[in-house]
Chains A and B, each alone.
Chain A
Amino acid sequence: MGAPAMSKTITIDGKNVPFSDGQTIMDAALAAGVYIPHLCHNPQFEPHGSCKLCVVSVNGRNMTSCTMPAAEDMVVANNTPELNSDRKALVQMLFVEGNHICPACEASGNCQLQAAAYYLDMLSPHYTHFYQPRAVDASHPEIFLDLNRCILCELCVRASREVDGKNVFGISGRGIGTRLVVNAASGRLGDTNFAATDKAAHVCPTGAILIKRQGYRIPIGQRTFDHKNISEVQMEPDHE
């Protein structure tokens, strides 16, 4: 730290946090070691602002911290019981919307949705499950696409567009029918130019995109979130 350009500050939960022009509240918080829960945000890509876990209260008004530019005199409340309770409700919504069966999921222990649920003290899904029928696409020789676990964060969409330059993924449908689609007339991942080496193959916060023949290579109990809290992992630079 200590860059002279960063003379401006905001406060987050009473702590002074410096920022430079163009930084969002989330950028400034991450740089200062202040954790704001998030799922659809990854500093490597354009901010999105859809999961709403990172909503904070700015001078009494709720704002999405990953898209809201920081500005002088912002008094931000982040780690409050009220906000964390609302965030827990959002995670519960994501759990009942999709079909997330943690004990049977290869991503268990590496899954940010699961880790966020632990972080926010979620003990049950609370809401009624939707049990929406969603497809599993195993057509690609190296990669599974399991839409049961997709939380529509669009990280793969952004990674494929911004880093891989491929546009393998997109979003179609509307409302509860919103769904991830792939760039092929057949609708099958195997008919796209997606590769296991693509950035987009490694950014899914859940287990919707899985590399084949890697299952349980790291046993349960030795996985990322078995050792560390999501608040530590997401603060590490270049985490996946």
Chain B
Amino acid sequence: MEPHEFPQIEQQLAPVFERHGREAHWLLQILREAQEIFHFIPSAAITCIAAHLGVPRTRVEGVAGFYSFLSLKPVGEYRVLFSDNVTDQMQGNPELMRYFCHKLWLEPGKVSEDNLLSVDSTSCTGMCDQGPAALVNGWPLTNLDHERLDLIAELIRNRKPVCDWPSLLFEVKDNIRRSGILLGEPFESGTAIRATLARGSVATLMEMEASGLRGRGGAGFSVARKWSMCRVSPGEKHYIVCNADEGEPGTFKDRVLLNSYADLVCEGMTVGARIIGATKGFLYLRGEYCYLLHKLEQALAQRRVAGLLGRNILGETGFDFDIEIHLGAGAYICGEESALIESLEGKRGRPRNRPPFPVTHGYLDQPTVVDNVETLACAARIAAQGGEWFAAMGTAQSSGSKILSIAGDCARPGIYEYPFGVTLHEILDDCGAEDPYAVQVSGPSGILVSSKEFGRCISFEDLPTAGAFTVFKRGRDLLQIVQNFVHFFAHESCGFCTPCRVGTQLQKKIVDKIANGHGTAYDLEELKQLGHIMQTMSHCGLGHTAPNPVLDMLKKFPDAYQHKLKDLAFEPAFDLDGALETARNITGRDDAWAHLP
């Protein structure tokens, strides 16, 4: 038998089909499980799944080829993915990955000859405050160092199942350093729902309006408006979705909310469901956080027992609502709400054409609300304590508090909750940032802020943020940081529209060229022009924001790249020495004579 023939494939997949039925919108969940069984998605599995679901083979292959954690080629029985977020990079992950590969005689991106192991990098795993981090078969490894990697190598060599590895390796801390109204005050399950039922849906919606609550995912759309639009949209069913696809590099606040405040989040969903008239909700959990699945399922089960989910919630006849968890599989774009809905439907995470918007045509074309984890937690607090109480905090356009995920060059990385309006100075003092030079606010898609701007404040009026706050001290190579960001966007572009699919690649190539010392003034102009095309012609927010770090660097940090530029007006992108790399790899040489002078 060939190593990748699967004569028993039907029997192997039978329990998966049993669990998920024949609905095509379970496709992604089915493929996730197939990946676990076979360590990749064999062609035969695609055929088998397509037949089972009654969809064309191309549909299954399309989804299997889209998500990073699914693979059409075999990966190792043990798949170790090092997080390549900029903070992991600063903490030494590239060197650790080389060390690990060297130790196990393996090349990154390849599978060992005995199919035991493969090693690669992956986008931010959301462990920036306790990196360097990696995933092994989907489980998060934190605080990596040589010693831990030695242990991991030993465990893999001995073929010890990941579930039997020492739990210390998988320890994930909350690191809550500063709490406010959301994280600091106790919350008794059911109080928000009780208050909503007592007050009535319309009155609760008015509390939301009075609170001024805006979406915490970055865009800042009014929650009351979104909910009322969905509430009045005609449809057979309404849905509420919790967007826990926290993919923005540097963000990890939703991980903490789901780990320690799941009840508050579920309560927010239930209040929302009551208001928009939904009987079904989804929690879309990013694949990197699948280790939380069991705990979340338990939280849901407890709520069902307590009468806070299920039929006739808290004895209210006809108030039926339940939550189902869907797992992502490694795709940043699925944080975009319409791509998330596509993914929930078991499709490629491709942002939809809008209009129509999800509030009228969302999941299965029905009116759907998609809200960020933190937004729903806020909504629960507001339902329980009223809108005015919430609006008393923050600024005119930004009421309430904001949870920041702080990482990078600071003594105390972790979770900080501030009232909106807090200045960067204050935050940097609190987290123990030493000689800060720049801060990336809201991740690569956000704003790169220079030290001259540290008087600015976190708010929708000034510096809106989805939560990432990455600190860089003086002396950090900002060009290298921006290079990391543009590689991220090129990797995560969904590939649908021309300006983003090709533009993110071109941007990556030009930044690499500058970083490699071949850039000229001409390339800077090219980057500006490319940035303009991506910002104005792209299909969705990913393309619109992908040039942000580059454009911010060009505008605010000339020192970061100018010394790298050549004096020439133009230098070709073709790198003669680079072209010899293949020959060097084949001959195993990297000495001076194997390079051009």
Contacts and interface: CB of A to CB of B under 8 A. Distances in A.
Interface of A: 47, 49-53, 55, 62, 64, 67-69, 86, 89-90, 93-94, 96-97, 127-128, 130, 151-152, 167-179, 181-185
B501 A178 contact: yes
Nearest to A98: B502
B504 interface: yes
B530 to A, nearest CB: 8
Contact of A176 (B61, B68, B502): B502
A55 B539 CA distance: 10
Given A128-B573, A169-B58, A174 B495 contact: yes
A69 B360 CA distance: 15
Contacts of A184: 57
A149 to B, nearest CB: 15
A64 B459 CA distance: 31
Given A64-B353, A182-B58, A176 B506 contact: no
A171 B67 CA distance: 13
15 contacts: A50-B498, A50-B539, A51-B498, A52-B498, A94-B502, A96-B506, A152-B495, A170-B61, A172-B64, A174-B494, A175-B493, A176-B493, A178-B496, A183-B57, A185-B47
B491 interface: yes
Interface in B38-76: 43-44, 46-47, 56-59, 61-62, 64-68, 72
B47 A178 contact: no
B491 A175 contact: yes
B348 A89 contact: no
A176 B46 contact: no
Contact of B66 (A89, A94, A172): A172
A96 B67 CA distance: 25
B355 interface: yes
A172 B61 contact: yes
Most chain B CB within 10 A, of A51, A174, A179, is at: A174
A52 B506 contact: no
Contacts of A169: 58
B533 A173 contact: no
A177 to B, nearest CB: 7
Given A90-B498, A170-B57, A177-B495, 14 more contacts: A52-B537, A64-B353, A68-B355, A93-B498, A127-B506, A167-B58, A170-B61, A172-B66, A174-B67, A174-B493, A175-B505, A176-B502, A181-B61, A183-B56
A89 B533 contact: yes
Contacts of A130: 505
A207 B573 CA distance: 28
Contacts of A51: 497-498
A191 to B, nearest CB: 11
B346 interface: no
A175 B498 contact: no
A151 to B, nearest CB: 8
A69 B355 contact: yes
A29 B110 CA distance: 52
